[in-house]
Chain A
């Protein structure tokens, strides 16, 4: 019996762009995943608390406000202090190339920016979870 992949989609801070994240939520649901969306304006603490309680396979953060380089370090810190450092973290939205490079160094597994076809997002998450294996 294989369980559907569980994903938490989060919007952090003042960023009010939610079109993309809602499209992603539907695409993942239609691909058979269980999706929990935090809604807008959450803090990193709230997002990590939710991700840990829900024990999601993937924490996906959508950011179009330019604050990725302050948000992701906090998220990784909080995941560590919660003993949840095996969680797969991905990012989406709008951000410059150099940030993408640094985010990946920090531990973000994939960054999927504007115009990524939904199917590619589905395939990427499926792959990441398969690679991780049982938990």
Chain B
């Protein structure tokens, strides 16, 4: 791209589906730079058509391989498809090896599939901070289906369900006695359960266990028109893949124009609003307290004061800072 292009100038090119412009705007969203805000706001207005499918499950359960297989089938039907694959950053170095894409190499020659890898960069919840901005950008670029693959490892790591229209939880046989979805707290969040790797002999047991768990009523959701299906798939033989696509399509239709669907979209919006505010607050808190916290920590270390009192003091410096900022703005406009 050569010279630095303002983010708003990328919008038209994103809408035309130019990969380099899409890629760059996602990078700008990831960087959190203020310069990109206007552009992202406009993109948000343009978006809202795509069906967002969340795919989660414990590490190694076969998510990426499955996404790749589904994508090939969806492409045969003509849909342009976006994939956002999220992997954890190393807690030690902050770096990452983003390994999902390598499992999707069957797709790599198809311009109708846009794959973007993202690292969590310390964000909790299994999602990368800019994942939903990336969804909007791909949506605005005309990708009709967007699959979000996230790491699903524990109860706190299930933000995906609050960001996607349809959530698929993938379990694999042979990773222990119990169905891992239960251990990972993923049982309740699924709109569709998948048991992957059904080409393996021990898959039937996992399927039966999972079905049993679901009928045992551990699942305490309001009764609805949707009975959560449990589908066995194999990315080796292709078994179950069409059935899974059918279930995703049915869930999409069911959720599109019903009270349940509207409630879901509203809760997605609310989640996004709160999460964005939380991120802003976090950044401002960090910026505002960087200087003061060293001094206060010193006091804490010397036990001149206690953690609660000092934390309140730290917080009040942040809030005062905010107030000053507001006053600045007002006095300028006055």
Q: Which A residues contact B (CB, under 8 angstroms)?
A: 1, 3-4, 6, 25-26, 28-39, 42-43, 45-46, 49-50, 52-55, 82-86, 134-135
Known pairs A31-B95, A84-B1; A46 contacts B109 (CB<8 A): yes
Q: Which residue of B lies closest to A79 (CB)?
A: B20
Complex A-B: 27 CB contacts under 8 Å: A1-B31, A6-B27, A29-B90, A29-B95, A29-B96, A30-B90, A32-B93, A32-B95, A34-B119, A35-B96, A38-B105, A38-B108, A39-B102, A42-B108, A45-B109, A46-B105, A49-B108, A52-B19, A54-B23, A54-B101, A54-B115, A55-B24, A82-B20, A83-B18, A83-B20, A85-B1, A86-B2
- Complex CA–CA separation, A134 to B22 (angstroms): 17
- Chain B's nearest CB lies how many Å from the CB of A27? 10
- Chain A's nearest CB lies how many Å from the CB of B69? 17
Residues of chain B at interface, number, CB under 8 A: 39
A34 touches B1 (CB 8 A): no
- Complex CA–CA separation, A30 to B94 (angstroms): 8
A52 touches B93 (CB 8 A): no
Known pairs A36-B117, A50-B115; A4 contacts B94 (CB<8 A): yes
B59: CB under 8 A from chain A? no
B32 touches A1 (CB 8 A): yes
- Chain B's nearest CB lies how many Å from the CB of A44? 11
From B26, B95, B101, A38 is in contact (CB under 8 Å) with: B101
Please name the 3 residue pairs, one residue from A and one from B, whose CB atoms are nearest each other, closest first. Answer: A55-B23, A29-B95, A46-B108
Please indicate the chain A residues that have their CB under 8 angstroms from the CB of B109 in the complex: 43, 45-46, 49
- Chain A's nearest CB lies how many Å from the CB of B290? 13
Which residues of B in the span 23-82 have a Cβ within 8 Å of any Cβ on A?
Answer: 23-24, 26-27, 30-33
B19 touches A82 (CB 8 A): yes
Please indicate the chain B residues that have their CB under 8 angstroms from the CB of A33 in the complex: 95
Please indicate the chain A residues that have their CB under 8 angstroms from the CB of B300 in the complex: none
B97 touches A35 (CB 8 A): yes
- Complex CA–CA separation, A33 to B117 (angstroms): 13
- Complex CA–CA separation, A43 to B228 (angstroms): 41
- Chain B's nearest CB lies how many Å from the CB of A32? 4
Please indicate the chain B residues that have their CB under 8 angstroms from the CB of A30 in the complex: 90, 92-93, 95
B31 touches A3 (CB 8 A): yes
B283: CB under 8 A from chain A? yes
Please indicate the chain A residues that have their CB under 8 angstroms from the CB of B92 in the complex: 30
